[in-house]
Amino acid sequence: MNNKFYTIAALLLLSAFHVIAGNPDRQGQAGAAELLMNPWGRSAGLHSMSTSSVMGVEAMRINIAGLSRIKKLEIGISNNRLFSGTGMNLNSFGLGFKMGKSGAFGVEFASLDFGQIPVTTVNQPAGTGGFFSPSFFQLGLGYSFTYANKISVGMLMRLVSESIQDVTASGVAIDAGVQYVAGPKDNFKLGIALRNVGSPMVFGGEGLSTKRGNPDPAGGVTYELTYDARAASFELPSMLNMGVSYDFYFGSDNYLRGLANFTSNAFSRDQVGAGLEFSFQNLVALRAAYKYDLGKTDVETKNVYTGLSAGASVEVPISKGGANNLGIDYAYRTTNPFKGTHNLTLRFSF
């Protein structure tokens, strides 16, 4: 441990005193909730609480600072069956590659699939026989830099787009994060991530227009006027994550990682949680975590992801020496309500 560690730890604790207060009174007032969805299996198995230890392409969703801790190149493809029983899916693609010795650049694309929804109108509330599917997608560009293999910092800008027929909304969200590691095998890890900070979004388009007859026809002549409905703007679901973890090694390649995380939500109740991750020979990993809402326990105001999560990973070498690997990650998270979310991820590391 050195002076840098004590300085960063002090800043973390000082920040906690300023942010330990969620906003349950504002719950449900933010939009773009897809920004809170995590498509990646490894971190999802820990209830997205790996702020201190996340690395690679999935760091672009949890803590962008971890992106620069990849080898040379990492590609991730994921599919999520969201809230089982709803027919919703979240698909994502991530690419991260080294820039120089200590930096890394990453791209992440995510698309939300709602399935086919019947078209209904005022005159045909039972349906017209047609179907539509909203288009929700995100595109993130991030950069991370590691200094002396101890401190990593990063920033990401994410374009958010939501559209449904002739109505659209778009915005930009910014993430920033820092990670610090210490110990003989980087056993101790600490991370802080600020996510989804951006300008308000508002829906607009021809779909918000309607035609009505002229209320005061001059000379007895009637004609139609077009009226535009003004949609209210909405904020992005910003949050602050602070996490810490420690690795207990058994031999050279086996370890048990314990972690804890605190989340301050700007538009819902704060959350705290802890988890365990066991890795055997860098080939198989098992994970489990529990997340809890702080404050009142009114079921109607709970965050959707609370309770238990679990997951597993298998690393398959695709070249001699283990330099290139194929990773398969699975995770399950309990949800309130619905029947949980399933994550499946394929990773290619070079």
Q: How many residues does the chain have?
A: 350
Interatomic CA distance for residues 27 and 33, integer angstroms: 12
**What's the Cα-to-Cα distance from 115 to each of 89, 164, 193, 247, 281, rounded to whole Å?**
8, 13, 33, 42, 41
Which pLDDT value is given to residue 298? 53
Structural domains for the chain: 3-200+235-349 (2.40.160.40)
Which pLDDT value is given to residue 52? 96
Instruction: Evaluate whether 191 touches 9 at the Cβ level (below 8 Å).
Output: no
Q: Which amino acid, residue 321?
A: G
**Alpha carbon of residue 108 to chain centroid:** 11
Interatomic CA distance for residues 16 and 173, integer angstroms: 23
Bridge partners of 30? 235
Which pLDDT value is given to residue 210? 83
Q: What H or E segment, with its residue span, contains residue 15?
A: helix 3-19
Spell out the SS3 assignment of 75-109: EEEEEEEECCCCCEEEEEEEEEEEECCCEEEEEEE
What is the value of pTM for the model shown?
A: 0.88
Give me the tens of pLDDT residue by residue for the chain, a chain 350 residues long: 455 544 554 555 455 444 444 555 666 678 899 999 999 999 999 999 999 999 999 999 999 999 999 999 999 999 999 998 888 999 999 999 999 999 999 999 999 999 888 988 888 888 888 888 899 999 999 999 999 889 999 999 999 999 988 899 999 999 999 999 999 999 999 999 999 999 899 999 988 888 888 777 766 777 888 888 888 999 999 999 999 999 999 988 899 999 999 999 888 889 999 999 999 999 999 999 999 998 765 545 678 899 999 999 999 998 877 679 999 999 999 998 888 999 999 999 99
Which pLDDT value is given to residue 44? 97
